[in-house]
Amino acid sequence: MIHHNRNFAFTLAEVLITLGIIGVVAAMTLPSLITKYKEKELVTSYLRVYSILENAYRRVQGEYGTFENWSGAVITTNQNDGKLDSTLSDRKKLYEYMIKPYIEVNEVFLPKNSNWDNIGTRNCWPEKSQYLDGTPYSSNSNGEHIVRPAVSLKSGECIVLAYNFGDFMVDLNSKKGPNVVGKDQFIFSFDVTKPERIKPGYYQRWWTDSAAYCDVNSSNGWIAGISCGFWIVRNHNMDYLHMSYDDLKKRWAGGVW
């Protein structure tokens, strides 16, 4: 019996076609993979900051009680139902009672005098930012982001104390971008209805835990992106960035974070 040895090999044309197909598939999938990876990094950073704030707050409570006992918060009452409505804490007391003793920071941006409303220099917050629907807002127009006391963490996050939206305004990567509320900028506040917790949203009792303020396409609420932290805490992702508002409303689940 005669055995014939035959060598099989790809032709150059076949190799080029295969490489072309691989290139097309990579071009189609790589941007999505990169986006998911970046979102995962931001989610990890968000949950880390939330854990740091919550742990520090628990330690404060062990010594001084909940925020209304030590934070210097101005608590307002809703005129319609008589219940506590909102609070925004004193920046100096936030730092002295909670940040300084219980949170390890990389750098502090504090006033050189007694004026905690204006530290007189820039902090770790970016100069310009956007809401989630693309509406721009600039810290240069009123100086609020620049002059507010702040701290940066060793992991890169910037925390502004008692900005107008909440007791803690966080940029997860400081000035690197995209500097968008609901993407890398988020709000944390003491909760007047659950004073033992910090909530991932606006300091007022109403219009916080709602899909209306986490719509990437338009401002169905008021400040687009301000409620997205609730989604991250519950789902550990940023899928809301890729959803229609109708789908977001269907999948939004309220309740304790």
Question: 225 lies in a domain?
Answer: yes
CA atoms within 13 A on the CB side of 211: 16
pLDDT, position 239: 96
**Domain carrying residue 165:** 36-114+126-244
The label of the residue with tokens 């609730």 reads: 230
Residue 215 included in any domain: yes
* Maximum C-alpha span of the chain: 102
3-state secondary structure of 198: strand
Pairing of strands 166-171, 150-152: unpaired
**The pLDDT value given to residue 205:** 75
pTM of the model: 0.84
Neighbours of 129 (CB within 10 A): 21
Q: Is the pLDDT of residue 173 over 60?
A: yes
Q: Is residue 85 part of a domain?
A: yes
Please check whether residue 118 is in contact with residue 10, taking contact to mean a CB–CB distance below 8 angstroms: no
124: exposed, middle or buried (Cβ count in 10 Å: 0-12, 13-18, 19+): buried
Split at pLDDT 50, 70, 90, the class of 112 is confident
Domain count, the chain: 1
Do residues 230 and 239 touch, judged by C-beta distance below 8 A? no
24 lies in some domain: no
Asked if residue 184 is part of any domain, the answer here is yes
- The answer to whether residue 166 sits within a structural domain is yes
| Assigned domain for 83 exists | yes
CA pair distance 106, 100, nearest whole angstrom: 11
What is the rounded CA–CA span in Å between residue 123 and residue 170? 12
Mean pLDDT, range 51-75, rounded to an integer: 93
What distance in Å separates the CA atoms of residue 191 and residue 171, rounded to the nearest whole number?
Answer: 21
The pLDDT value given to residue 100: 97
Question: Across residues 9-21, what is the average pLDDT?
Answer: 73
pLDDT of residue 33: 67
Model confidence over 237-248: pLDDT tens digits? 999 999 999 999
pLDDT in tens, 202-248: 888 766 788 989 998 876 657 889 999 999 999 999 999 999 999 99
Percentage of the residues of the chain whose pLDDT score is greater than 90: 47
* Distance, CA of 191 to CA of 85 (rounded, Å): 9
Residue 204 lies in a domain: yes
| Residue 133 in this model has a pLDDT that exceeds 90 | no
